[in-house]
Amino acid sequence: MLDIKKIRENSELVLKSLHQRSTEYTLEPIIDLDRQQREIQLVRTELQAKSNEIGKLVGQKMRSGANPQSEEIISLKQEGNDAKAKLAQLEPREKELKAKVESLLLELPNLPSKTTPVGKSESDNVEVRRWGDEYIPEGSNFLSHDQIGEKLGIIDSERAVKVSQSRFVALVGAGAALERALINFMLDRQIEAGYVEVMPPVLINSDSLQGTGQLPKFSEESFKCDKDDLWLTPTAGVPVTNFYRQEILRAEEVPIRHCAYYPCFRREAGSYGKDMRGLIRLHQFNKVELVKIVHPDTSEDEHQKMVKDAEAILQALKLPYRVLELCTGDIGFSAAKCYDLEVWLPEANTYREISSCSNCLDFQARRANIRFKEKGKKGTQFVQTLNGSGLAVGRTMAAILENYQQPDGKVKVPDVLQPYLKQDVLG
């Protein structure tokens, strides 16, 4: 959530930053409602002070022996009652205006970082670096990962659709084992890198989705349980960040670094051509997520390290990839700055996203009210939050199947996964 004080004092600057994302955003309704609320607050504060003063004065006069039925006492009490009656009218209106302001604030995205490239769409993203060109397989006529999976009998889409619907897959035999091996491998590596593993609930409440920015704006992108205030979470970043919702941490507790294996659920509305097949764009997919709760002073350094931690998985698997810095028109709703990792897929002859690492600064912390207290300092500060995929498991499997496919139709198992799978070839 954006700071209303910042909007009051620097509305033109805030609007300019929002328009780097999209010109659809406006601040006028928020500014107008906030002005009305503060005007009522000022009147209410004056009336409350007047009511308190009258009550105190009546008490003093009564203790001094004044007649309760005297004209002066009756007049003062009437004046106090009038003030209370006006307060009773103003308080609901003030609460209503505050709620409207907050509702509008919840619809606004984070402001892009000053270092985020300005652009309108993904075509304006900036390539930062590439790795692993020497591992790009030579040749042509590559099979897609879904073709490989079907030939090997390790991906079964037809039966998955039969028991569920389109955009679900079932992994069989070595396919299920490979998925499990990837999850264990990713978790082991991230734990070695200093993350503490968490296994959070799969069903989460609306407050959690609002805290990280999925609600109210993106309710249609998630699956909801109709009879309960519970949702299937779109990413582990939601429950893990919300572990600390409404908490005041000690300064020595941050940074907090978590990793979590998690099944993710997204509606993925629309048609995506070839992505309707295989493991690229599913309603349900597995992911190992990285989440950080940090001090504002270390936020940028922690972001760069998170990107490196995600890259380390691809490097260990010897999968070619590139890093993109997303432009203002392509970063996610809660992000101020974001890097995407894109892995090479030979059949498509292109790079595809496999991880997004976002620095949300204090945007989510304000929504979820996560703060910290430093010794010797008055008050509290908002933490800053970061999240990233370390990695999307299904897309990693897709990249392995395509990059490690052999002329005889088999698939070589990456060296680092062989101890987990207990085999060096699939097929």
Place of tokens 């709703």: 333
Does residue 159 carry a catalytic annotation? no
The crossing angle, in degrees rounded to 10, of helices 393-403 and 174-192 is: 110
| 255 upstream amide cis, omega within 30 of 0 | yes
Does residue 102 carry a catalytic annotation? no
Does residue 356 carry a catalytic annotation? yes
Nearest CA among 203, 252, 255, 197 for reference residue 229: 203
The catalytically annotated residue of 257, 281, 352, 366 is 281
- Maximum separation of any 2 CA atoms in the chain, in Å: 107
The catalytically annotated residue of 157, 334, 355, 356 is 356
Does residue 281 carry a catalytic annotation? yes
Q: What contacts 144, CB < 8 A, 6 or more positions away?
A: 274, 277, 278, 347, 348, 402
Does residue 130 carry a catalytic annotation? no
**Catalytic residue numbers, as ranges:** 266, 281, 353, 356, 395
